[in-house]
Chain A
Amino acid sequence: MKKLLINKTLKQNLITYGIVIVAYLVIQIMVSLGLVSSLLKGLLVPLCVYAILAVSLNLVVGILGELSLGHAGFMCVGAFASAFFSMCMKSTNMPSALRFLIAILIGAASAAICGILIGIPVLRLKGDYLAIVTLAFGEIIKNIVNSLYIGLDEAGFHFSMESTMDLNLSETGTVIIKGAQGITGTPNDSTFTVGVILLLLTLVIVLNLIHSRDGRAIMSIRDNTIAAESIGIHVTKYKLMAFTISAALAGVAGVLYAHNLSSLTATQKNFGYNQSIMILVFVVLGGIGNIRGSVISAVILTLLPELLRGLNDYRMLIYAVVLIVMMLFNWAPKCIEWRAKLLYKFKNKKTAKEAE
């Protein structure tokens, strides 16, 4: 019986990986045949970024059962930390593959540290508080990054919160982070292949976590915190674990994002509240707790508005309506009842037909 169960989850996981790999191969073949427009080519890396973000947020929302609205903040931390590193190392003759690998690790680590720092105080609190604190955290990060100036010369790093003039750089020094102007000239290391590898890695981490002992502990906290506590599960530890892993993965997405653009700025649109909401829409549409669904909905929702340019004005409106309708449809007790009735009727008809 146990063997069967393991095989079933393994099969499901393999299907998820398979979908990603097949999609990757199809797109690569289409690119080599020249069937992909340049607009779509530019979307390939963002697709991976959003898919990773959606999967990592689903870990918090779906598996841990808490709402995080600061996911874009973690992404921002990862993006800026890694872009800063890449800029520092750009002049040295470090191979770009190694540099990017270290950048990814730095992005993940810095986001994870932020996750721990923010998680320790707030994970003791319940849903609504966590949502608002993570939202606040995202705004704080955006504010700090927008007023941060860092320069580099032979004397080392110079920091300022005021302006580039305050850095007191020597003549040969360069300014790396220019406050609201962000970082310009980040090396474009992100490719679609790297993105897909990172996405697969994210999926492996999250899916294996879910089906491990720790994952079951996390889900038991979601389902009933008091019951979980009473059977000896360390609630804060497991909450922090899920939250930190999710933050680290969001940081990785940020690294990918940062190295896809030549100039990186922290605006409301890319690292603000709106971005966090958009990731939440991906998760809700894909199904809360359904990892494969998150990937698929992230891809569809990123592609659709770009392919249907005419809908661009209504895009956000449609997202909002999707969010409300999906939640009502999936969670309202009356709606669930109605769906069950409908399904029952449908089944009855089928069996009646078969009987004939």
Chain B
Amino acid sequence: MSFIQYLISGISLGSVYALIALGYTMVYGIAKMLNFAHGDVIMVGGFTTYTICSTLGLHPIIGIIVSVVVCTLLGITIEKIAYKPLRKASSPLAVLITAIGVSYLLQNLALLIFGANAKSFTSVVSMEPIKLADGQLSITGETIVTIVCCILIMIGLMFFINKTKAGQAMLAVSEDKGAAQLMGINVDGTIALTFAIGSALAAIAGVLLCSAYPSLTPYTGSMPGIKAFVAAVFGGIGSIPGAFIGGILLGVIEILSKAYISSQMSDAICFAVLIIVLLVKPTGLLGKNIQEKV
């Protein structure tokens, strides 16, 4: 029975990873860059909700909405100031290093504002745990909300990308920027929209993550961020269903290795998964193999 318990909490953690990985994978698909600051957007989302709910004492729903808005604006601003000028830079390293700089900047700003001490985050979910199988199996409200949220967002995102004009524009830009521009698509706007959606998802992921693991520090986002990237690579970077599957699998692997192997080594095991995936199938589970041409 404990195995099922672990499996469920793994899926819950995996749902959070999947939400974060969606942001990575969309940005990577469209801008061909690894947004290192994505993990720290999660942290900003967490702190915004914390400030609204715990410090100002407002309703959690307001907190979530405000944090989504703040993170969306933050994502667009970061893209505009730090990434856009470097889009045509001669070296691909330039934008990567800038992204690291942005990540570092966000962490240290949070450190200055909120301090290094962990804040205890009040869960936004007020739901009693569900007891199953004579109380042997207990599923917390956070777990259910996280999984449901993730599935809803996935469905919504798939609908958005496949059925709306803006989503189709995103696909077009990720295929070929030049051709998309010739078809009358606003490339800059589309990239900004991608960053906005990715950051909004990161804000939701941040709130869900902090509700499940209620300790909030300026470094809260960096590890889940990196792991979500692992998940995105696992599922095949650039693929949205891939991010979902990769996220869930990685969450399950992490929780199971924590439970059955060693709690200290669980991070190392997650990263070992990444290295194995890259060795065996560098394109990930659902990724497409693209041959580079001259």
B223 to chain A, nearest CB (A): 8
Q: Is B145 an interface residue (CB 8 A)?
A: no
- What's the Cα separation between A67 and B28 when bound, in Å? 17
- When distances are taken between beta carbons in the complex, the residues of chain B under 8 Å from A280 are 97, 100
List which B72-120 residues lie within 8 A (CB) of chain A.
82, 85-86, 88-98, 100-102, 104-105, 107-109, 111-112
Say whether A140 contacts B271, CB under 8 Å: yes
Say whether B90 contacts A331, CB under 8 Å: yes
Q: Is B264 an interface residue (CB 8 A)?
A: yes
Q: Is B127 an interface residue (CB 8 A)?
A: no
Name the contact of B226 in the complex, choosing from A132, A277, A319, A320 (C-beta under 8 A).
A132
- When distances are taken between beta carbons in the complex, the residues of chain A under 8 Å from B192 are none
Name the contact of B85 in the complex, choosing from A67, A143, A147, A332 (C-beta under 8 A).
A332
- When distances are taken between beta carbons in the complex, the residues of chain B under 8 Å from A129 are 233, 278, 282
- When distances are taken between beta carbons in the complex, the residues of chain B under 8 Å from A356 are none
Q: Is A14 an interface residue (CB 8 A)?
A: no
- When distances are taken between beta carbons in the complex, the residues of chain B under 8 Å from A161 are 262, 265
Residue of B with least CB distance to A124: B282
Say whether B89 contacts A332, CB under 8 Å: yes
Chain B binding site: helix, strand, loop or mixed by DSSP? helix
Q: Is A284 an interface residue (CB 8 A)?
A: yes
- What's the Cα separation between A125 and B283 when bound, in Å? 10
- When distances are taken between beta carbons in the complex, the residues of chain B under 8 Å from A314 are 112
Name the contact of A323 in the complex, choosing from B97, B226, B292 (C-beta under 8 A).
B97
- What's the Cα separation between A139 and B226 when bound, in Å? 11
List which B47-71 residues lie within 8 A (CB) of chain A.
none
- What's the Cα separation between A332 and B94 when bound, in Å? 8
Residue among B92, B98, B107, B294 with the most chain A CB within 10 A? B98
- What's the Cα separation between A347 and B136 when bound, in Å? 80
A141 to chain B, nearest CB (A): 9
Q: Is A89 an interface residue (CB 8 A)?
A: no
Q: Which residues of B contact A (CB under 8 A)?
A: 28, 33-34, 82, 85-86, 88-98, 100-102, 104-105, 107-109, 111-112, 222, 226, 229-230, 233, 262, 264-265, 267-268, 271-272, 274-275, 278-279, 282, 292, 294
**9 A-B pairs closest in CB distance:** A323-B101, A136-B271, A331-B94, A320-B105, A332-B85, A320-B104, A324-B101, A128-B34, A143-B268
Q: Which residues of A contact B (CB under 8 A)?
A: 61, 65-67, 69, 118, 121-122, 124-125, 127-129, 131-133, 135-137, 139-140, 143-144, 146-147, 161, 226-227, 273, 277, 280, 284, 288, 313-314, 316-317, 319-321, 323-324, 327-328, 330-335
Can you spell out 20 A-B residue pairs with CB atoms less than 8 angstroms apart? A67-B97, A122-B278, A127-B96, A128-B28, A129-B278, A131-B34, A133-B274, A137-B271, A140-B272, A147-B264, A273-B222, A288-B93, A316-B104, A316-B107, A319-B104, A320-B108, A327-B86, A327-B98, A328-B86, A331-B91
